[in-house]
Amino acid sequence: MEIHKSNAELPPLPAKRYFTIGEVSELCGVKAHVLRYWEQEFTQLNPVKRSGNRRYYQHHEVVLIRHIRELLYEQGFTISGARNRLE
C-alpha cells in the first residue's frame, strides 16, 4: 500500500509560471500517469502542450492539483465526488 504525504508535508511551490509534469509530480506527490488521468477526469486541468506534446502546467493548476490530491487522498472523496466538490 502506498503511503501519501499530507499536503502540509509537500515542498513549497517555486515562483515559476510553468512547470513540467515531472516537476508537478515531485511538488504534488502524485505520479505522472495519475496526473495524465486526472486531466481526463477534471476539465479544470488543461496544461499547455508544446513541442513533442510536452505538458506545461501553470501555477494555478499546480495549486488545483494539490487540492484535488487533498480531496482524494486525505478527505476520501471519489473522483466523481471531488469533481462535484470543485464545480
Spatial CA neighbour of 83 closest among 44, 48, 57, 31: 44
Q: What's the mean pLDDT when you consider all of the chain?
A: 92
The per-residue pLDDT for range 51-67, each reduced to its tens digit, is 888 999 999 999 999 99
Q: Is 58 helix (H, G, I), strand (E, B) or coil?
A: strand
pLDDT on residue 81: 98
**Calpha distance 22→78 (Å, rounded):** 25
Q: What does the domain layout of the chain look like in residue ranges? A: 17-86
pLDDT: which is higher, 9 or 71: 71
Task: Note the pTM of the prediction, 2 decimals.
Answer: 0.88
**For the domain 17-86, what is the CATH code?**
1.10.1660.10
